[in-house]
């Protein structure tokens, strides 16, 4: 029997995977959002990860919101988000609900593969019992599981899905080989078959935890050097001349991975009785950077003899990273709220973000290109290194400034800013 594959969740992770699978296998893309399905059917991907031509090239891919359309599939790949709640605890709701959905159509011999980032043990301890209960089938007898963590880098047009090596795993040795073979058929960079699902889960969650810790170090160094009046950029450039110095830059840490995944690992560690001090401290440092930037901006306003209350401040960039429309867990929002608490009037400009999408998520509102407006600002914060911002010069900022320009550069792309992180 030929495999028929269902991809559950068609966001930043699911749609690239569905497209590649849909070039070689009969594939059904499932999402609970009818608007998303309609857009994909019309050849438009609002994440901008996939072009219209690529969508068309997946000739064996169809889209649906109807779970019954998945009933004749034999491989289910779940790519739903794994967020945290307002207490920084794992929120497995999307994962549990998608497991219930798949369980309702699961048949003898089917395979369920999870790609969502989780702490070690989630697949077998949280998801499998749901699949068993809903389907009435027994794990590793009636159905099987695999885990192959996503490594999508939103906005990256060079390291796309097929060019990133994939970790694979399965609930039995035979299923592991089958899962690995499936991914090898579409991943040109190759695969790494992990010895167990838990190992694969752990590997993924530490990838982003390691990066979070490294960024926290340079963020703390940047804060130290700022108190000393030393440019952290100059220090890092000098230190980077040594062959084994790891190159990271200070900045905001948001998005769907780096600012979230460490909390999955720390949650499980604390459940097991271990206090992960380094990881938690790194999260605390990185979470505090937005407030530091906002307070630095306020200090610059004071030093420039500008009123704080009612001051017009422009923030350039809202996304969590450059050159993509992804605003999930962006820490720029924390800068906005902090400035508002000081009484500032904040405008946000981001040419990559859909205004309606922003309203649904943050409800702040975005402005049109400020360089085509007559409005003047007491301060400008360059928060994201979009291509549209890189070539701006001092004269550009002066043209939108009220009096002497105050320019805060978080990303290190502005010449002669008032202050740089």
Residue 211 lies in a domain: no
Domain extent, residue 370, equals 288-420
Out of 184, 204, 224, a domain closes at 204
pLDDT of residue 13: 94
295 and 187 within one domain: no
Torsion angle of alpha carbons 296, 299, 304, 310, nearest 10°? 100
Q: What pLDDT is recorded for position 79?
A: 97
141 with 15, same domain: the answer is yes
Task: Tell me how many domains the chain contains.
Answer: 2
Q: What does residue 40 show for φ and ψ, rounded to 5 degrees?
A: -65, -40
**Are 298 and 193 contained in the same domain?**
no
Element (H, E) at 26: strand 26-30
The pLDDT score that the predictor gives to residue 36 is 95
According to the model, what pLDDT value does residue 257 have?
87
Q: What is the pLDDT of residue 30?
A: 97
- Which of 73, 257, 324, 344 is flagged as catalytic? 257
> Are 9 and 128 members of one domain?
yes
Out of 180, 204, 228, pick the residue that ends a domain: 204
Verify whether residue 145 is a known catalytic residue.
no
In a domain, 252, yes or no: no
Note the pTM of the prediction, 2 decimals: 0.92
Domain match, 197 and 90 both: yes
Please state, in angstroms and rounded to a whole number, the distance separating the CA atoms of residues 289 and 278.
17
Q: Which parts of the chain register pLDDT below 50? A: none
pLDDT of residue 360: 84
Q: Which residues contact 420 (CB under 8 A, 6 or more apart)?
A: 231, 232, 233, 408, 409, 410, 412, 414
């Amino acid at each position: 029997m030929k495999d028929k594959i269902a991809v559950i969740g068609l966001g930043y992770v699911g749609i690239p995977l569905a497209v590649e699978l849909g070039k070689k296998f009969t594939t059904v893309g499932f999402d609970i959002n009818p608007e998303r399905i309609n857009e994909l059917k019309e050849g438009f991907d609002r994440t901008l990860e996939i072009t219209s031509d690529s969508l068309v090239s997946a000739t064996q891919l169809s889209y649906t919101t109807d779970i019954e359309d998945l009933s004749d599939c034999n491989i289910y790949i779940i790519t739903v988000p794994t967020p945290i709640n307002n207490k920084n605890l794992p929120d497995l709701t999307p994962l549990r609900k998608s497991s219930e959905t798949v369980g309702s159509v699961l048949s003898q011999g089917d395979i369920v593969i999870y790609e969502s980032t989780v702490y070690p043990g989630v697949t077998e301890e949280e998801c499998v019992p749901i699949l068993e209960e809903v389907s009435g089938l027994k794990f590793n007898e009636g159905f099987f599981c695999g885990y192959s963590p996503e490594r999508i880098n939103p906005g990256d047009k060079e390291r796309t899905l097929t060019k990133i090596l994939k970790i694979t795993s399965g609930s039995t040795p035979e299923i592991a080989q089958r899962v690995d073979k499936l991914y090898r058929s579409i991943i040109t960079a190759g695969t790494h078959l992990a010895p167990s699902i838990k190992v694969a889960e752990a590997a993924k969650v530490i990838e982003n935890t390691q990066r979070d810790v490294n960024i926290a170090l340079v963020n703390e160094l940047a804060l130290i050097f700022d108190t000393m009046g030393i440019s952290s950029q100059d220090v890092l450039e000098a230190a980077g001349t040594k062959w084994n110095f790891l190159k990271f830059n200070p900045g905001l840490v948001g998005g769907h991975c780096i600012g979230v995944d460490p909390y999955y690992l720390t949650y499980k560690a604390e459940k097991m009785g271990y206090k992960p001090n380094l990881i938690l401290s790194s999260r605390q440092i990185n979470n505090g950077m937005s407030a530091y930037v906002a307070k630095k901006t306020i200090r610059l306003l004071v030093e420039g003899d500008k009123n704080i209350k009612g001051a017009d401040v422009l923030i350039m960039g809202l996304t969590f990273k450059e050159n993509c429309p992804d605003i999930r867990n962006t820490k720029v929002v924390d800068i906005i709220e902090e400035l508002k608490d000081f009484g500032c009037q904040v405008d946000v400009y981001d040419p990559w973000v859909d205004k309606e999408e922003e309203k649904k998520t943050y409800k702040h509102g975005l402005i049109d290109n400020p360089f085509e407006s007559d409005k003047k600002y007491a301060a400008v914060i360059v928060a994201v290194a979009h291509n549209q911002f890189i070539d701006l010069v001092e004269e550009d900022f002066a043209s939108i400034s009220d009096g002497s320009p105050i320019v805060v550069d978080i990303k290190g792309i502005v010449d002669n800013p008032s202050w740089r992180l």
